[in-house]
Amino acid sequence: MTAGHPPDRRPVIAVVGGGMAGLAAAWQLSQDLGPSGAGSPRVLVLEAGGRTGGKVRSAEFAGREVDVAADAFLARRPEATGLCTELGLSDALVAPGAAGASLWARGRLRMMPAGMNLGVPTRWWPLARSGILDPVGSARAAIDLVRPHRADPGATGDAAVGAVVTARLGHEVTERLVDPLVGGIHAGGVDDLSAEATFAPLLEADRDSGSLMRRLRLPDPPPPDPSRPPAPVFWSLEGTTARLPAELTAALVARGVAVHTGVAVETLTRRPAERPSGGTWELTLAGDASSVPGATGGADSARTLAVDGVVLAVPAGQAASLLAAHAPRAAAILGDIGHSSVSVVTLSVPSAAVRARLVGTGFLVPRTSTVGGRTALITGCTYLSRKWPGLARPGDELIRLSVGRYGDERPDSLDDDELAAAAFDEASVILGIGGRPLESLVTRWHGAFPQYTPGHLGRSDQVERAVAELPGVAVAGSALRGVGIPAVVGSGRAAALAVLASLERARPAAPTR
């Protein structure tokens, strides 16, 4: 039989993982349970590391608090901005103080042309004037505007971003524009990235007749209202973006959610149906589990925790290990997802030593580029104290260099000092920086970016369907449907709702008189 928790007992739900997906799941779970009116569940967040927030983190550097991972989130997506509103942080939202970005192309920095949609040009003349492509590459892109393309609305299936763009606009557009943007977002290469998962409008436009560039052209913005500032593309928070998980953690604790760091979950075991009052699942805990409410076991045995529901908001490999005995197909899919590692090199350099004009928010470096006669190591640069004016101080510029792509193992062969020096050397060539940095900080993110290869969303569907067959269990995180803060917040909340719905279905019917 299917065992539900007794109607007079609050269900216990464990959120495994205290990154943004897990915290968002806990936030959703800590609201009312559902239509039965049974009230909120008891929620525990179990995070193996020493802090919450996952890949959203800040550090003290050069006398300022700076983000060392994501430093903003998309304004047009409602998940993160809505969460900020719920937390009372709407007045703390701040927009970047600069706009636009450059590309390192054909030996110098060139501003990105107007009319771009994730690196795909939608107007030819601004592209041609930018100088990013050579004359042959520019002419090849122009063919898209004059050569008819037959519609294929009945086409199904996925394709790699690079394959679509190269076939329609040529390899230079792929290598010098689309790969730095789409590939940069995912720390991968567009020849291996799913269009359906990373750039769905591209796939739809490719199946329509006519020009790909015209199909991807965004609507012209409405005329500016002089009484209102222009709508930002990105938001951060006063201080740092890492303030978001910190505020969310504090709000969860205020709601009565038990947040435990330094507690890992090693196994997930289905409990016998004849013990419904003790929960459906048993977690084996490791680390500092002595303070976890409800955990049993002593110093000579592993501590265990019985729960009714579980949200697995952990990296794909860890989720695969926990699910292997219960949903082997889901575990196999999760275990096969490749991941790339990236590093962030934050530098303070004397303002007078920077000879180039720092225009916009920074620049991107295509993977085929050379800097100083060698294949580029850095993938991009953010002018931190220009993008976020609150970080500006007299006498120095803060810049942040991104390093690492899928398949590039060079950063792993360098220690922190060597990596900082190598990254700075490339930046000094591009920006004309003399001397050495005043300070440097290297932050490494191992296995941080899941790679969405073609067919990824279909495989994610399979994972979610398989896990949905387990009572009170759901998965969340960047391995499924998006790597940005809004996407993982939405993933966590959706997983929480799935667990609540599963528990509601398992609830015993109230006795009739």
Query: How far is residue 22's CA from residue 16's CA, in Å, rounded to a whole number?
Result: 7
Beta bridge partners of 310: 14, 473
Q: What is the phi/psi pair of residue 340, to 5°?
A: -110, 150
- First-to-last CA distance in the chain? 24
Q: What residues contact residue 168 under an 8 Å CB cut-off, 6+ apart? A: 144, 149, 206, 212
CA 84 to chain CA centroid, Å, is 17
Residue the block writes with tokens 């002419």: 139
Asked if 236 contacts 56 with a C-beta cutoff of 8 angstroms, the reply is no
On the 0-12 / 13-18 / 19+ scale of CB atoms within 10 A, 509 is exposed
Q: What residues contact residue 302 under an 8 Å CB cut-off, 6+ apart? A: 266, 284, 285, 286
Identify the helix (H) or strand (E) that includes residue 243.
helix 243-254
CA 488 to chain CA centroid, Å, is 7
pLDDT tens track of the chain, all 513 residues? 233 444 557 899 999 999 999 999 999 999 854 444 445 789 999 999 999 999 999 999 999 999 999 999 999 999 999 999 999 999 999 999 999 999 999 999 999 999 999 999 999 999 999 999 999 999 999 999 998 888 887 788 999 999 999 999 999 999 999 999 999 999 999 999 999 999 999 999 999 999 999 999 988 767 766 777 778 899 999 999 999 999 999 999 999 999 999 999 999 999 886 555 567 999 999 998 988 988 988 665 679 999 999 999 999 999 999 999 999 999 999 999 999 999 999 999 999 999 999 999 999 999 999 999 999 999 999 999 999 999 999 999 999 999 999 999 999 999 999 999 999 999 999 999 999 999 999 999 999 999 999 999 999 999 999 999 999 999 999 999 999 999 999 999 999 999 999 998 877 655 555
Number of Cβ within a 10 Å radius of residue 257? 22
Query: How far is residue 297's CA from residue 272's CA, in Å, rounded to a whole number?
Result: 19
Per residue, what are the HEC states of 121-171? ECCHHHHHHHCCCCHHHHHHHHHHHHCCCCCCCCCCCCCEHHHHHHHHHCH
Number of Cβ within a 10 Å radius of residue 9? 13
Asked if 155 contacts 146 with a C-beta cutoff of 8 angstroms, the reply is no
Check: CATH 3.40.640.10 for 339-450?
A: no
Q: What is the phi/psi pair of residue 339, to 5°?
A: -135, 145
Domain spans, the chain: 12-55+242-337+453-506, 116-215, 339-450
From 118, 72, 19, select the one nearest 478 (Cα to Cα): 19
According to DSSP, residue 194 is labeled B
Asked if 5 contacts 504 with a C-beta cutoff of 8 angstroms, the reply is no
CA distances from residue 307 to 13, 303, 471 in whole angstroms, order as listed: 6, 13, 11
From 446, 264, 308, select the one nearest 4 (Cα to Cα): 308
Q: What is the phi/psi pair of residue 321, to 5°?
A: -65, -40
Query: At the fourth CATH level, which superfamily is domain 116-215?
Result: protoporphyrinogen ix oxidase, domain 3 (1.10.3110.10)
The matching CATH number, chosen from 3.40.50.2020, 3.10.580.10, 3.50.50.60, 3.20.19.10, for 12-55+242-337+453-506 is 3.50.50.60
Pairing assessment for the beta strands 234-237 and 93-94 based on DSSP bridges? antiparallel
